[in-house]
A and B are shown apart, each in its own frame.
Chain A
Amino acid sequence: MTAVIEQRRVRRGNALPMKRKAALLRWGIIVGVLLLLEVLTRAGAISPAIFVPPSEIIWRLISIVPTPQFGRDAWVSLSTILISFVIGLVVGLALGVFLWKVPAAGRVLEPFIVTGYAMPTLLFYPVLLALLGLNAGPIILIAATMALVPIALTTMVALNAVKPILHKLAKSVNASNRQYYLKVLLPAATPLIFPGVRLGFIYAVIGTIAMEFILAARGIGFRVGFYYRELQTGNMWAYIMIVVVLSVIVNGLLTALERRIRRDML
C-alpha cells in the first residue's frame, strides 16, 4: 500500500514539471501569436479589413462590455443556451434509457441517430421560422436537437456498460423501480454519461451561437454578423473574441467538472 502511494508520489513529482513546462510553452505560443498579429497589423502586412490589432480588440471589449446592449445580447444567448441544454438533457436521457431498455430499437435507430451528428438540423430553420415565428423558439429547438444526440448515445452506451451484478443486487434487495433508477443506475452510469453531457452542452453553445449568427436579430452570435455587414471590423473581432472566450471558459469548467466526477469513480 505505502509502496503504491510512494510510487504515485514519485510519478506525480515527475509529471508536474513536464505539465508546467507544457503550460508555459502553450501560453508562450498564444502570447507570441498575439504579438506577431499585433506587429503585422500595425505594420500594415495584414489588411485592417481582415484583422485589427489585438490591443485594439481589448480596448473595444472594454468599451463594449459595460453597455446595456451587450448585457441584453449576453442574456439572450446565455438563456437560450441553458434552455436548449436542459431540453436536450431531459429528452436525451429519456431517449438513451429507451434505447437501452429496448435493444432492438437501439439497433434499428442507431444509424439515424448517428446521422443526427451530420444532419444539418439548421436546414429546418426556415420551416421552424414559419411554424414558430421569429423568436427564440426555432433556435432553442435546433440547439436542443444538437445537444440531444451525444447525450442519448452515451446514455445508451453507459447503461449497457453497467455491471450485471448491480442489476442482480437491486433485485436481491427488492429495490423499487424508483430506487433502481436513482440509487443504482444513476450513480453507476454517471461517470460514463458525463462526457456525452459535456459534448451536449458544447453543441448547445455551438448551435445557439451559429443560429444567432445566421438569422436572429439579437444575441452575441448575431452581433458578429451584424458588425461584418456594417463593415466595423474592430467591433466584429471584439464579439468574435467574446464567443471564443465564452466557449473556452465553458469547455474549461466542464473539463474540470468531468475530472472531479471521474475521480469519484476511481
Chain B
Amino acid sequence: MSLDTKALAAPRVSARRARNQTVSDNLWRIAVLVGLFVLWWLLSLASDLVASPFAAFDALASTFADGSIYRPLGATVNAVLVGFAIAAVIGFPLGYVIGRSKFLGAVFDPIVAGAFAIPRVVFFPVLLQIFGVGVGAQAAMGALAAVFPIMVSTAAGVRAVSPLLPKLARSLSLTRVQTVTKIYVPAMAPSLMVGIRIGFSIALINVIIADFFAARAGLGLLALRAYGQLDLPLMYGVIVLLALIALAGNIALWALERRLAASRR
C-alpha cells in the first residue's frame, strides 16, 4: 500500500500558485460531478431501466421526510463503525508487532498476505450461524474484512520507520510506551492513515455485500428490496446515498492524509 503515499508526493510549487491550482482543481472536480449527473440524466432519458436523477433524489428525500431511511441507514453505519473499530483494535497492535520483529514477520507475513487475497465474504454464512441475522453478523463481517489490510499497512509502516529513530529513543532513555507513542506513531502516521482509509472502505463494501446476502435492516437490503418491488427511483436514491457516504468519507480521510504528508515536509 506504499504506492498511495508515494502518489501524494507532488512536486513543490510556490504557495500562491499552489493555492490557485487547488482552487481550479476543486472547480474541475465539481465539474466532473456535474458531468456525471448530466450523463445519468441523459441515460435516464434513453432507458426505462434508469430512473431520472430528479425522481431518485425525490424518493430519497421522501424516505428522510417520513423517517423510514433512519433504521437501515443506522444499521449500516453502525455495522461499519463497530466492525472498523474492532478491526482497528486488533489490527494495529498485531500489525505493529509483526512489523517490529523480523522473525514474527517471517512467520506471519505469508499468512496475512494470503488472508488478504481471500474473498472474506464467503465466511459470512458462518458469521450468520454464530451471531444470527442482524447487525452483529454485519459488524463481524466488516471487522473480518478490514483487519488484514490494516495489519498489512501497519506492518509496512513500522518497517519504513528510519532505524535512526529507535536509536534516538534509546539515547533519550524513553520508556516503552513513550517510544511507541512519541516516536513510532508520529513517524508512521501516513501509513496508518492509509490503513484507516483502506480498512474503512473495505469494511463498508463488505457490510453492503453482507446486506445483500442476509440482513434485518441495512442500505444494501433497502436497495435490493426497492429493486424487487421495481421501485427504481428509490433504488437509485439509495445507491446515490451510499456512493455519497463512500465519497465523503474517502475525501475526508484523503484530505487528512494529504495534510499530514504536507506538514511533514
Interface residues of A (CB under 8 A from B): 18-19, 21-23, 25-26, 29-30, 47, 49-51, 104, 107-112, 114-115, 117-120, 122-127, 130-131, 153-154, 156-157, 161, 195-196, 202, 205-206, 209-210, 213-215, 221, 224-225, 228, 233, 236, 239-240, 243-244, 247-248, 250-252, 255
Please tell me if the beta carbons of A50 and B126 are within 8 angstroms of each other in the complex.
yes
Residue of A29, A30, A214, A224 with most partner-chain B CB within 10 A: A214
CA distance A161 to B243 in the complex (A): 32
CA distance A29 to B116 in the complex (A): 18
B208: CB under 8 A from chain A?
Answer: yes
Please tell me if the beta carbons of A240 and B123 are within 8 angstroms of each other in the complex.
yes
Please tell me if the beta carbons of B107 and A25 are within 8 angstroms of each other in the complex.
yes
Q: Which of B108, B122, B224, B236 contacts A26 (CB 8 A)?
A: B108
Using known A-B contacts A19-B106, A243-B122, determine if residue A215 contacts B246 with beta carbons closer than 8 Å.
no
A135 to chain B, nearest CB (A): 16
B contacts with A: majority SS = helix
- Chain B contributes a number of interface residues (CB within 8 A of A) equal to 61
> Can you list 15 contacts pairing A with B, beta carbon distance less than 8 Å?
A107-B25, A115-B250, A117-B197, A119-B243, A120-B242, A123-B243, A153-B4, A154-B3, A206-B119, A221-B122, A233-B129, A240-B122, A243-B118, A244-B118, A250-B117
Contacts beyond the supplied A118-B200, A126-B224, A209-B122: 14 A-B pairs with Cβ under 8 Å: A19-B106, A22-B106, A117-B198, A118-B246, A119-B246, A122-B205, A157-B6, A202-B117, A205-B117, A215-B212, A228-B125, A243-B122, A247-B114, A252-B114
Q: Please name all residues of chain A whose beta carbon is closer than 8 Å to the beta carbon of B125 when the two chains form the complex.
A: 224-225, 228, 236
Please tell me if the beta carbons of B213 and A214 are within 8 angstroms of each other in the complex.
yes
Q: Please name all residues of chain B whose beta carbon is closer than 8 Å to the beta carbon of A214 when the two chains form the complex.
A: 209, 212-213
Please tell me if the beta carbons of A114 and B128 are within 8 angstroms of each other in the complex.
no
**A-contacting residues, B167-200, CB 8 Å:** 197-198, 200
Residue of B29, B122, B128, B246 with most partner-chain A CB within 10 A: B122
Residue of B at shortest CB range from A110?
A: B7
Please tell me if the beta carbons of B129 and A49 are within 8 angstroms of each other in the complex.
yes
Residue of A at shortest CB range from B108?
A: A26
B38: CB under 8 A from chain A?
Answer: no
Using known A-B contacts A108-B29, A111-B29, A126-B224, determine if residue A248 contacts B121 with beta carbons closer than 8 Å.
no
Using known A-B contacts A126-B235, A228-B128, determine if residue A247 contacts B118 with beta carbons closer than 8 Å.
yes
**A-contacting residues, B198-232, CB 8 Å:** 198, 200-202, 204-205, 208-209, 212-213, 220, 223-224, 227
B39: CB under 8 A from chain A?
Answer: no
CA distance A263 to B158 in the complex (A): 24
